[in-house]
Amino acid sequence: MARRSNRTALILFLVALIIITGSFLVILAINLFKGENDKGSVNPAVLGYELKIPQILEDLNPDLNVAEYVLEAKEGESQFIEGLMTNTSGYNGSYLGPVLKLRKGEKVSITLKNSLNVSTTIHWHGLIVDGEDDGGPNQGINPGESWTPEFVVDQNAATLWYHPHLMGETADQVYQGLSGLIFIEDEVSDKLNIPHDYGVNDIPLIVQDRNFNSDGSFDYQVSMMDPVPGNVMLVNGTISPYLNVKEGIVRFRILNASNSENFEFRLSNGENFYQIASDGGLLSAPVKQRRLFLAPSERAEILVDFRASKEPLSLLANGIEVLSFNLEEMKTDYGVIPETLAVIEDIPLGSSPNERNFVMQSMGINGTINGKYFDMNRIDETVKLGETEIWTISNVGGMMQTSAGHPFHVHGTQFQILSRDGQKPSLAESGFKDTVFVRAGEEVKIKVRFTHKGVYMYHCHILEHEDNGMMGQFIVE
């Protein structure tokens, strides 16, 4: 009896051993197989590269009040990962583009030469110019051709950006690398005691998520439901970047240049920083905060006081390290956080402003505004020049909606938020904006006025939603 149960136990033990070993081998085989096919298997996080700083584009006109810039969109190759090349596109380079530094009141001409193999447009996001100079989907530039809009800079100091806007192709072209920053400066920003030394204590951060194949190529995937979030973060086209900074106060101009991802930034030590600007320029006073939320296309300028931190410090986006800092000792000249920044002149509201509603609804990757898909041959709204209106933007959610919300963007203006679900906007959202994030079920009211004429766009700035119809057209006359 005892011997028999001993034998049974032995058999059971052997069977169990075979099952365990067998399943281990199967799992191992699956993983090996997956490893070869898993396109997102590149893990460059172990490497560290010095943060790239985009160049400031040279103004070709010696006249101080006139600026002349030339940009060329072209295809190229970039090295993000040691030993691997990635096919990309860029302006005057292989990825991203130079900074266009403009001054309020200055007369500007910018030529875009399209050396891509495909049509493109170049849109000045946040810039207040005539519709015909705006670079929206109506201003397509064929391969080999050029486009030269001219305008006078008619707005306050701000950090804006530029990117393609060709109907149906925007998401793809931006993913390939076509984006760059625009800085506007004015007397107010000149005189402010905030860091101005570009690349030293005034640092641009263009933040993007990307997916890579194991051969180094971009793996841009969009399902019926959603764009696929990247597993690698790029800052100014740099993977796992570090930045050498002095221990004083440093200004960062952050742009969420991702196609579809929202980012919540914070410092790894949990310390506060100070937001000094939103999309359209300086706030009235620095806003002390621990977190900064930016939806696609939103910008913020922040001041970080590095004196407080004696430990290794980095900037996190959604909990992931996107930039680490190497602090260099500094004995004097730390800088200060100013008490006040700029005087915000409220957009004047008449006694009975015209009101409009914009209802966003999405269905997987598609979406509508007021129940309509974009149609280049249809003008959806006609707006009177110079008259302030109240726009109510709501997000009614939608079928199979997986995105947390829609960043609603309006061309040709900088608006002010009146309320978010009936509540006054936060201090950080009390400045000028050109994009406002509207969560599912939320209703946002904005005060908007147009000072230039022409045809413009409003749309969701999740680029895949925009390309799939979540956009409308209005004319200002």
Q: Which residues of this chain interact with Cu ion, rule CB under 5 A? A: 125, 406, 411, 460, 462, 465
Residue nearest to ligand C2O (CB): 125
Nearer to Cu ion, 99 or 128 (CB): 128
Q: Per 3-state DSSP, what percentage of the chain is helix, strand, and coil (rounded to 5)?
A: 15, 45, 45
Which of 103, 125, 251, 299 touches ligand C2O (CB under 6 A)? 125
CA distance 334 to 308: 11
Q: Which of 429, 435, 442 is nearest to 466 (CA)?
A: 435
According to the binding rule CB under 6 A, does residue 99 interact with ligand C2O? no
According to the binding rule CB under 6 A, does residue 163 interact with ligand C2O? yes
State which H helix or E strand residue 152 sits in: strand 150-152
The Cα-based distances of 267 to 111, 130, 245 in angstroms read 39, 40, 15
Q: Phi, psi (5° rounding) for residue 377?
A: -95, 10
CB 281 within 8 A of CB 288: no
Nearer to ligand C2O, 179 or 240 (CB): 179
Scan residues 218-257 and list those touching ligand C2O (CB under 6 A).
none
* Token reading at 313: 């410090």
- Contact of residue 297 among ligand C2O, Cu ion, none (CB under 5-8 Å per partner type): ligand C2O
- Contact of residue 462 among Cu ion, ligand C2O, none (CB under 5-8 Å per partner type): Cu ion
Using CB under 6 A, count the residues that bind ligand C2O. Answer: 10
Scan residues 420-459 and list those touching ligand C2O (CB under 6 A).
457, 459
Q: How far is the CB of 411 from ligand C2O (least distance, A)?
A: 6
CA distance 75 to 190: 36
Across 290-434, where does the E strand assignment appear? 292-294, 299-305, 313-317, 320-328, 354-363, 366-369, 381-383, 389-399, 405-410, 416-420
Size (the chain), residues: 477
Q: How far is the CB of 450 from ligand C2O (least distance, A)?
A: 15
Binding mask 332-371 for ligand C2O (x = CB under 6 A): ----------------------------------------
Nearer to Cu ion, 99 or 463 (CB): 463
- Contact of residue 299 among Cu ion, ligand C2O, none (CB under 5-8 Å per partner type): none
Q: How far is the CB of 135 from ligand C2O (least distance, A)?
A: 9
Nearer to ligand C2O, 113 or 165 (CB): 165
User: In 3-state terms, what secondary structure has residue 261?
Assistant: coil
According to the binding rule CB under 6 A, does residue 409 interact with ligand C2O? yes
Nearer to ligand C2O, 445 or 461 (CB): 461
Q: Dihedral through CA 403, CA 371, CA 442, CA 259, nearest 10?
A: 30
According to the binding rule CB under 6 A, does residue 103 interact with ligand C2O? no
Per the listing, tokens 């700083």 go with 53
Q: Residues interacting with ligand C2O, by CB under 6 A?
A: 123, 125, 163, 165, 297, 409, 411, 457, 459, 461
